[in-house]
Structure 1
Amino acid sequence: MGELSRRTGVGTHQLRYYEAQGLLDPTRSANGYREYGEDSVAKVEQIRTLLSAGMTTKDIASMMPCVLGEGPDFVSCPELLDLMGSREKGLNERIEALTRSRDALRGHIDETRTARPGERPWAAARRRGRA
């Protein structure tokens, strides 16, 4: 496990988590140590890439039959497209909610900056005819 951690830059605790989630399947040596094959480095790279794209480990486990290469590259699977489309929709909804929150916060910041010393921001807005 230490060697795989060194080769991928992923901590051993994270590798254990991937194993617990069914994403890595090491063999065991006679002394009980985990042994990872050469394909494990590519598999960890696939996992990290998919996690960075907003996929969960549960998603990744279901996607693995459609994943090839280190990229990862995908085989066209209807289930995979549905899953990725669903994740994209969720991300878009979160982006829209965050954009609304940022815009509201920006408005509060602007009102606070333009208030006179000791004046409440809502009073400054009313003074300027915006409330």
Structure 2
Amino acid sequence: MPKPIEEIQKEVVEEFSDLTDWEEKFQYLIELGEALPSYPEDKKVEEYLVPGCQSRVWLYPKEDSGNLQFLADSDTALTKGLIAILIRVFSDHKPQEIAEASLSFIDEIGLSKFLSISRRNGLNSMVNLLKNYAKNPNV
């Protein structure tokens, strides 16, 4: 059984609290993105593009035993790291858990303060799409 979403968020906050400055945090985000599983080329289509992102971000949901799992990719390293964190928090959970989750960790690790406005908007678009998939899980 997967860890609760709140517990995963706490782990992410702890990992980021060990990093001393934003250069280290951005480097860590890039490393998280590099560690994402490969994204299927046949899913790099308009249907799975996240609307509202300056970068191209693909997000593919699939259902497995009542839980949602997500695959993602992006054409920029930092954005790929952002979606990697969101996937880590949300994947392998029931749609209702995802839809109802608060995402306090985004503010706790400082992403809202240190991302540019366009990246912040893109992050919000990714969160909204993940939650929309949870609210309409017929993927």
Whose Rg is larger? 1
Do Structure 1 and Structure 2 share a fold, with TM-score over 0.5?
no
Higher relative contact order (CA 8 A, sep 6+): 2
User: Given the two structures, how large is their TM-score scaled by the length of structure 1?
Assistant: 0.26
Q: Whose strand fraction is larger, Structure 1's or Structure 2's?
A: 2
User: Given the two structures, how large is their TM-score scaled by the length of structure 2?
Assistant: 0.25
Q: Whose helix fraction is larger, Structure 1's or Structure 2's?
A: 1
